[in-house]
Structure 1
Amino acid sequence: MGLNEYITGLKSFKGFAGDIVSHRTFDAQPAAWASPDIFPCFKNDLSPLLAGVGIKHLYTHQARAISLILDRCHTVIATPTASGKSLVYNLPVMDALISDPSAHALYLFPLKALARDQLDTVNKMLAKTGAVFSEPLTAGVYDGDITGYQKTKIRNHPPNILLSNPEMLHLAMLAHHHLWASFFGNLKYIVVDEVHTYRGVMGSNMAWVFRRLLRICRFYGSDPCFIFCSATIANPGQLASELTGLPVTVVDEQGAPCGKKDILMMKGLEGAAQTAITLIHAAVYRNLATIVYTQSRKITELIALWAGQRAKTMADKICAYRAGFLPEERREIEQKLANGELLCVVSTSALELGIDIGNLDLCILVGYPGTMMSTWQRAGRVGRGGNDSAMILIAHEDALDQYFINHPDIFFTMPPETARINPENPQILDRHLDCAAAELSLDADDPMLRPPVVQERVQALGRQGRLLLSRDGNTWFSPRKRPHREVSLRGSGHTIPIFKEETRQSLGEIDRHRSYFETHEGAVYLHRGQTFVVTLFDHLKGVVRAKEEKVSYYTRARSSKNTEIISVEKTCQVKGTRVGFGKLKIREQVTGYEMKSVSGQKSLGIVPLDLPELIYETQGLWIEIPDWIRQRVEMKFLHFMGGIHALEHAAIGMMPLLVMTDRNDLGGISMPFHPQLETAVVFVYDGVPGGLGLTLQAFENAEILMKRTYEAIRDCTCQTGCPACVHSPKCGSGNRPIDKDAAKQILQMLLEQKTGQRESAFVQASGPPLFSDIAVLKKEIHEKKTGVISPKRYAVLDIETRRSAKQVGGWHKAERMGVSCAVLYDSLENDFLVYYQEDMEKLVERLRQMDLVIGFNIIRFDYKVLSGLSRFDFHNLPTLDMLTTVHERLGYRLSLEHLAGQTLGLEKSADGLLALKWWQEGRLDLIVDYCTQDVRVTHELYTYGRDNGFLLFKNKAGHHVRIPVDWKLMSDLT
């Protein structure tokens, strides 16, 4: 009755008059039970186990999925929240473990809290197997919160069921697979819960984590069956298959019952946050267990803070919850919500997944979550066990929110979205190939290397020295033992910690890219209702410090950006314009931040910042705006730049109608003239280096995107533009300039123009790469920077000194060492020339004639010594320092003797200490012979690398491998 009274009171409340735009009731649905003829055929009698957890019957979807799993079919169960998916994977796993107690199962959850929550359920079921065995089957959690002792114990004696998360699989298990040999060798099932969360960056990373996992399993002789659990999305089978490279069967019918659910949509006339606070107070007053979802960490903290301040008697019943909280903080909140100590939790998406927080009555969405999948997933968090429930959507002043408020029928009939991943993202793929090679060397016949895109990236990594090819050319090795730490599965880069300035206590962490915009110096950072001002942002070391301070304002970063089209992959004609898709280079720089008052949103000023430019490559689409449209817009005295800027914002706002994303995953740039396209253009791009395939999906629906964008602008009732149509909450220029009317006119003209007209106004695409001259230009710039352009005449130089580093006071005083002799090989004369200290000017004159000077540690040593004997600036010579090249490739140095011995089978005739002894003895003849041999060895090493593209060395693991060198680019001696 409390829920019905709440809804009745809400609809009759005068303060919300005209605010509620839609109220629909979805009737309760009865259960669909599996008939005995389709009941799964377990190998063992599981009736005691089922009785122990109170299960008498299986739903139809449970029975079908379990039967598929028992037949060893990779299966994805895509049914709504609270439909009994955990039973689907637990029963087959228990059956397998009873038959083979040495078997193992791996349960993967995207959040640590989910794994710990599921452990209780698993242990209860395993306890029922104790009657069969003298020693019962075991389960355990392996995550970053357990002690080192516990981790060692689990590795040495892994439980039958191991519950973990993607990071632990990647960092601790695959990276150290030899410590898990028995576990991987007997792995029967891999359960992937909440697989719909493995999309975008994380999904693209997980596609390679799963491939690496399967590779390790094959190595130890196992062939596990995958079981996926998903929320309702359009392509669960495709997603699971793309994640693993395996065929996956889909079970998506719903057999579980559900209670009556009321769905209300509100305009949020008083502001979404203020409306939510009123709804919270009314719900807590009626003892309704409530969850409130917001779109950002900041608004999560603010709503919880304001709700508590305005009703102090309810303050201890309301709490914020978000990612970035410490593990112990999150678990305390979860427990209080489950046992009723808390009545309302205000959360980001962190509580969208299936953590047990008890039976909730009411879900309030402060803004549309960005996808229909998330909307119904969040709605499913209330009304568990067939109880009645309600969900209220409060619209933000956001383009997509307002679109649904104006078209509620579309909201209730929209199909679920397609989850997209992009495993071919080169930055992601490269990192995982490095990890895979570090785990097990990559042989030529390795299944992981079969796809052409993987072969292409392996070759590219080989040329960069990030993978090393064996002497025989059949096996690839990683140059590093543990590259795994450099891979962030959930973000575009590494995360960095945030500390309290006074105590160095951790306040959480933030993605490195986001840190430039949210934790720059002066930024206001919110944590559990407390405000902190960032006092230190060290982007080089990756550290943020903040001090607690009560302020009445918040901050928003201001930035500038530019883009370059690297290659055009696709183009299409849409009405009166052309739309393109391809690879872009984005340059973005945070130039300052704006302070805005919490009450009234008044700007309090802009503070400049001096931060480095962020440069990355990604995928994107662009809409060309022909010159004739610009002329017509300006003839009407409208602001053309403001118009295309408004079009950009509106298009990004409408993208989630077509793509499973939100505007924070996207970026945009509008330019009145783009030099490559020779016209005005609006770019929308994936906001992640390498791209995620989001804008590709939008490009394939470009006409729909443009029509929906036009409708959103046309139907908005504002006069000059607002967040419901053309304003963006993340605009780096503060939504200036913006001209809503100009944007509407531009889109109207584009969409009314017939296809094929005015094509002469466009630069004709010639296919990828469209701008081939860019590559030529880059090559010319590179050659000018290196000072090396196809040397016709080159020298190889080595010197011996009269004094040691110790004698002159250290290596940093090498200019005092003097020269006993210098030997130079002249490629034009094909001869070895000897110079003594008194011949330095002759040596300088000879060096001036060379197109290239080659040496081993020549820049840091030889030139340093020679600078003490001549005023000539040796560093202006076009130089190839072979030691520097090797160091840049490997990250560590190798000696000339090692490289010559492994590559050529040659040895040095002496060493530097012996040469110093000979100088003291006056044996110049021996020094010259020794120095000449060094030059000969260096020259042969150079020519070998030039002709073959690699040198050979023996790595720390004892493998004879190639190190790539690109000296051919600097040589043309034929």
Structure 2
Amino acid sequence: MPNNVAEYIEALLQSERLGHQVAHHRVLPGSDARFDEPRRPWPASIQHALETMGIDRLYSHQAEAANHIRAGRDVVIATPTASGKTLCYNLPVMEQCLADPDARALYMFPLKALAQDQLKTFNSLAALLPEERRPTAAIYDGDTTPHFRRKIRNTPPNAVLTNPEMVHLSMLPYHDKWAETLANLTHIIVDEVHTYRGVMGSHMAMVFRRLLRLCHFYGSRPVLVFCSATVGNPGELCTLLTGREVHEIRETGAAQGERNMIFLNPHESPAQAAIMLLQSALAREMRTIVYCQSRKLTELISLWAAERSGQYKNRISAYRAGFLPEERREVEQRMAQGDLLAVISTSALELGIDIGGLDLCIMVGYPGTVMATVQRGGRVGRAQQESAVVLVAQEDALDQYFMRNPDDFFSRPPESVMLNPYNPVVTDRHLVCAAAELTLRTDEPFLAEQGMADRVQHLMERGELFEVVEDTPAQGRGGEIVSNRKRPHRDVDLRSAGRGLHIEDVTHGEEKAPVIGTTDQHRVWTETHPGAVYLHRGQTYVIKDVHTATGSVQAEKKRVGYYTRVRSSKSTEILEVLGQKACYGTRVFFGRLRVTEQVTGYEKRSVRGGKLLGIISLDVPPNVFTTEGIWLEVGHDIRRACEDDFLHFMGGIHAVEHAAIGILPLLVMTDRNDLGGISTPLHEQMNSPAVFVYDGMPGGAGLTRQAFTKADELVRTTLRTIEQCPCELGCPSCVHSPKCGSGNRPIDKNAARFVLEAVLSGDPKTIKPKDIDVNLLDYARPEDNGRFGVLDIETRYSAQEVGGWNRADRMGVSIACLYDSGTDTMHDYEQNQMDELVAHLKQFDTVIGFNHIKFDYAVLSGLHPFPFNTLPSLDLLIKVHERLGYRLKLDNIAQATLDVGKSADGLMALEWWKQGRLDLITEYCRQDVIVTRDVYLYGRENGHVLFTNKAGQKVKLPVDW
């Protein structure tokens, strides 16, 4: 089919409607290929395979990668899309398999579709090698049937192609079934590594550490091979992910075709401009991909474009995260086969899924980074033909910045990728998984990294990890730490900081409603609150209800002419200052914050024109999370000067917050949706006004950590963005935010300029360090409980005899034994002495027992009107259950902690009552009281008790009684 790119570009530039909206047009010249030879020649069979494929020489980056991988060195190849990265790792892997048929490789892809593509490529190359030693490969993912999963585990192929979730959920917890693969693992291939940033990057940093820990256990040290888009710090990224030094390869030797770059600044809706561009491309049967910034916009453009595209209506499809696997696979296949001419996608199709050669890429909104723009643009012109990329600007600050400063875009290097490998919210969950996989040892390298030992201690205090108590500790070995659960992995979602929730279509009221999408606990109340409009594959749904306990969101299909946007309020508390420095005439801080976000309601706005139709209040739980952030102190002198100039100070710092968040992706690889902000005219801990910008996910993602080092540039660029914007009172291109919880009120652009100019005019030499009262809670162990009593009772009748445990008030008392710490004496009370027992119980500061609140008090309530639940009580069973999530018997704790047990049991005591042996019952009851008392005193003194877990190990259980 002829390439109509040149004609399309000419028509656009000459268009009466769109031509004058083109802010910039630049032709990026193509480049010739550069070749090189590897240091060692390939074996004859591989050389023959390359020649059969028509490859007589390798690109220079391919040869460099081969040299390092074959020498056993970890490497990351960060070159453009379609530069032949696959050969970089397939050739060394296959060479290793030819030399050692037992060699194994693990290929990891962020998307299932990438694994499908790569399996075809692997098998095509393997088919050209000698049949008797031909390397084998198989996909192991969620679509693999149980039969083939067992077959792959029991008879592993040379290469297993999988994804992070399968490594986390199916390989690491069951590593004993993968022993052959792990023991012979020579290579780990990680594709699209630049996607492992933010929250997922924090998760993957722990997944890689757990995987390499198990490799070490089985005696292998695989070479790590990473492939990435062109980012600014590929080596640093891979080191953050794995803790190992990784060699960078950043110069491509592949040829590149000529590419037209067009910046279009539409006068009206960017979505409508994109549809017109798409219609023109469809008329020329150009294969096109349209990228949108949100799921909602993806669905809307797909819907509107189909309505206006006549004969091409069925050759357009949406594609986004949240689609079910089979839906995504169908779109990919139709695009690759040429059945679809256009696909409208979120970043889900930014990666190297083969959907055939494309001619045109339309981006509705700047993707947020130079790297993402280049990566998305790299989807076109893959056959080295002329291609075009059109960036349609939205009102966002970054979009407009580049429309006014296009040279800055083309001269700006790719951004650096950041992640927080030690995000405590994420690390804690993976440490519990790691301990379940293989007992942790306090002296192993895994726990020597930053803060790991502290997190382990924290988890032991919470009862999620247990320290094993050995009667005869092994010499020269660190202490052993085990998990409180056998399989904790299912509760860890690698792509979110919280637990995942399914969005279910309940339109037809099926008992098992179909799942149409997913969300997580962190976003559920902002994106899928009751009343929210949710779009899926061109269909409009309204959210009916949210059930966080069951992990489900109920949606009902409805045709509505509006969309929704949440309103919210926020507050922040400074937990820890990790850094501070002078920034022109003020201070900038970096540290840990506790953010409270409260959704208060939502707006209904008309789809046509965005007119406000109404505001509906919501009563939903607050979202409270700890994260990292930076904050700029604004002095009272600046506030007073601003107010003296009759400017709206609160509106000014609110505008500074929005503008800083909007422009921050220029400096840090993120988009504004990954960030949050709060501006306050008086922050209690700062005792001054302040503007906060924070990582918008629990634990932090390293974004503001990087921004702190560039604070001066952030302040300068924020002011320049506000000054350059031609609007008079403020707009989405400078100080308005599309996700502002207060509807961009108050906002004062002139006050923002005043504040920033005042900051910039100050002298950093006059700025001294400032102490901030972080008011961290003191978690010191509680003092003793003063005069305490320890209570236990034995009953006359069993639960069966009185009609069930819920009728404990009918069981009667044979004997009640009470220890008094004030006199160090034991007291016995029979059923006719309840008045004396109650009088004695009232004298204690605390009444202690083991299941006495739910059982003993229930029995006593049937014999005396006193409200026993009003007594100050400490129930050791309840405390243990709170720690563990399950109940333990007193005998288990006593045997492990004190090496003593109960002398009998409750059934024997009932039998004794029938025999009239009150003496034996009293002796047994007293023994229970003594054991309960001694367990309590041991826990109070040592901060823990011991118990024997299901694996038969004696472990420590931290307690705070």
Same fold (TM over 0.5): yes
Of residues 134, 142, 145, the one that matches 1:144 is: 142
User: After superposition, what is the alpha-carbon deviation per residue over 1:775-813, rounded to whole angstroms, capped at 9, x for unaligned?
Assistant: 25x87xxx9xxxx75423222111111222222222122
Amino acid at match of 1:78: A
Residue matched to 1:849:
843
User: After superposition, what is the alpha-carbon deviation per residue over 1:719-769, rounded to whole angstroms, capped at 9, x for unaligned?
Assistant: 22111011111111111221212111111111112225586xxxx633xxx
Residue matched to 1:862:
856
Of residues 4, 16, 19, the one that matches 1:2 is: 4
User: After superposition, what is the alpha-carbon deviation per residue over 1:213-251, rounded to whole angstroms, capped at 9, x for unaligned?
Assistant: 111111112111111111111111111112111111111
* Residue pair 2:61, 2:251 contacting (<8 A) in 1 also: yes
Distance (Å, rounded) in 2 between the aligned partners of 1:773 and 1:531: 47
Distance (Å, rounded) in 1 between the aligned partners of 2:404 and 2:897: 72
User: After superposition, what is the alpha-carbon deviation per residue over 1:832-860, rounded to whole angstroms, capped at 9, x for unaligned?
Assistant: 11122233233223222222221111111
* Residue pair 1:523, 1:555 contacting (<8 A) in 2 also: yes
Residue matched to 1:775:
777
Residue matched to 2:686:
677
* Residue pair 2:22, 2:262 contacting (<8 A) in 1 also: yes
Residue matched to 1:111:
111
1:897-936 maps to which residues of 2 (within 5 A)? 897-936=891-930
Cα distance, 1:880 vs structure 2 = 1.9
Residue matched to 1:24:
26
Distance (Å, rounded) in 2 between the aligned partners of 1:774 and 1:110: 39
Distance (Å, rounded) in 1 between the aligned partners of 2:941 and 2:34: 72
The reply to whether residue 88 of structure 1 matches residue 82 of structure 2 is: no
Of residues 13, 16, 30, the one that matches 2:15 is: 13
Of residues 655, 659, 668, the one that matches 2:664 is: 655
User: After superposition, what is the alpha-carbon deviation per residue over 1:108-156, rounded to whole angstroms, capped at 9, x for unaligned?
Assistant: 00111100111111111111224343xx432111111122222122212
* Residue pair 2:817, 2:828 contacting (<8 A) in 1 also: yes
Distance (Å, rounded) in 2 between the aligned partners of 1:819 and 1:673: 62
Residue matched to 2:489:
484
* Secondary structure of 2:45 counterpart: coil
Change (3 A) 1:844 1:244: same
Distance (Å, rounded) in 2 between the aligned partners of 1:718 and 1:864: 72
Residue matched to 2:77:
77
Amino acid at match of 1:931: C
Of residues 695, 699, 703, the one that matches 1:686 is: 695
The reply to whether residue 33 of structure 1 matches residue 31 of structure 2 is: no
Q: Note the residue ranges of structure 1 that are not aligned, 5 or more in a row.
A: 968-974
Of residues 553, 556, 571, the one that matches 1:562 is: 571
* Residue pair 1:44, 1:99 contacting (<8 A) in 2 also: no
Of residues 532, 553, 558, the one that matches 1:544 is: 553
* Residue pair 1:44, 1:95 contacting (<8 A) in 2 also: no
Distance (Å, rounded) in 2 between the aligned partners of 1:823 and 1:505: 58
* Secondary structure of 1:46 counterpart: helix
1:379-528 maps to which residues of 2 (within 5 A)? 379-472=377-470, 474-501=479-506, 502=508, 503=510, 504-528=513-537
* Residue pair 1:41, 1:67 contacting (<8 A) in 2 also: no
Residue matched to 1:750:
759
* Secondary structure of 1:928 counterpart: helix
1:585-596 maps to which residues of 2 (within 5 A)? 585-596=594-605
User: After superposition, what is the alpha-carbon deviation per residue over 1:33-73, rounded to whole angstroms, capped at 9, x for unaligned?
Assistant: 11x4x454335531222133332210111111101100011
* Secondary structure of 1:546 counterpart: strand
Amino acid at match of 1:495: G
Amino acid at match of 1:896: L
The farther-off stretch of 655-664 and 741-750 is 741-750
* Residue pair 2:574, 2:774 contacting (<8 A) in 1 also: no
Cα distance, 1:628 vs structure 2 = 2.0
* Residue pair 1:42, 1:70 contacting (<8 A) in 2 also: no
* Residue pair 2:818, 2:929 contacting (<8 A) in 1 also: yes
* Secondary structure of 2:317 counterpart: strand
Amino acid at match of 1:53: M
Cα distance, 1:618 vs structure 2 = 0.7
* Secondary structure of 2:131 counterpart: coil
The farther-off stretch of 107-116 and 921-930 is 921-930
Amino acid at match of 1:941: V
Q: How many residues align?
A: 948
Amino acid at match of 1:871: P
Residue matched to 1:950:
944
Distance (Å, rounded) in 1 between the aligned partners of 2:347 and 2:911: 72
Residue matched to 1:210:
208
Cα distance, 1:163 vs structure 2 = 0.5
* Residue pair 1:486, 1:494 contacting (<8 A) in 2 also: yes
1:142-291 maps to which residues of 2 (within 5 A)? 142-291=140-289
Cα distance, 1:511 vs structure 2 = 2.3
The reply to whether residue 877 of structure 1 matches residue 871 of structure 2 is: yes
Distance (Å, rounded) in 2 between the aligned partners of 1:765 and 1:803: 68
Residue matched to 1:972:
none
The reply to whether residue 668 of structure 1 matches residue 677 of structure 2 is: yes
Amino acid at match of 1:683: F
Amino acid at match of 1:574: C
Amino acid at match of 1:806: Q
Of residues 344, 347, 360, the one that matches 1:346 is: 344
* Residue pair 2:333, 2:355 contacting (<8 A) in 1 also: yes
* Secondary structure of 2:755 counterpart: helix
Amino acid at match of 2:34: A
* Secondary structure of 1:641 counterpart: helix
* Residue pair 1:81, 1:381 contacting (<8 A) in 2 also: yes
The farther-off stretch of 625-634 and 598-607 is 625-634
TM-score scaled to structure 2, two decimals? 0.96
The farther-off stretch of 627-636 and 908-917 is 627-636
* Residue pair 1:671, 1:682 contacting (<8 A) in 2 also: yes
Cα distance, 1:865 vs structure 2 = 1.7
Amino acid at match of 1:498: I
* Residue pair 1:194, 1:353 contacting (<8 A) in 2 also: yes
Distance (Å, rounded) in 2 between the aligned partners of 1:724 and 1:241: 37
Residue matched to 1:795:
789
* Residue pair 2:260, 2:387 contacting (<8 A) in 1 also: yes
Distance (Å, rounded) in 1 between the aligned partners of 2:370 and 2:915: 86
Of residues 808, 815, 820, the one that matches 1:814 is: 808
Amino acid at match of 1:11: L
User: After superposition, what is the alpha-carbon deviation per residue over 1:93-113, rounded to whole angstroms, capped at 9, x for unaligned?
Assistant: 010111111211110001111
* Secondary structure of 2:895 counterpart: helix
CA RMSD of aligned residues (A): 1.6
Distance (Å, rounded) in 1 between the aligned partners of 2:230 and 2:872: 62
Distance (Å, rounded) in 2 between the aligned partners of 1:835 and 1:853: 16
* Residue pair 1:42, 1:92 contacting (<8 A) in 2 also: no
* Residue pair 1:40, 1:63 contacting (<8 A) in 2 also: no
Residue matched to 1:127:
127
* Residue pair 1:433, 1:458 contacting (<8 A) in 2 also: yes
* Residue pair 1:665, 1:688 contacting (<8 A) in 2 also: yes
Distance (Å, rounded) in 1 between the aligned partners of 2:747 and 2:696: 22
Cα distance, 1:549 vs structure 2 = 1.5
Residue matched to 1:301:
299
The reply to whether residue 961 of structure 1 matches residue 955 of structure 2 is: yes
Cα distance, 1:210 vs structure 2 = 0.7
Cα distance, 1:868 vs structure 2 = 2.5
Distance (Å, rounded) in 2 between the aligned partners of 1:964 and 1:868: 35
Distance (Å, rounded) in 2 between the aligned partners of 1:682 and 1:875: 48
* Secondary structure of 2:460 counterpart: helix
Distance (Å, rounded) in 2 between the aligned partners of 1:228 and 1:436: 23
Distance (Å, rounded) in 1 between the aligned partners of 2:520 and 2:385: 39
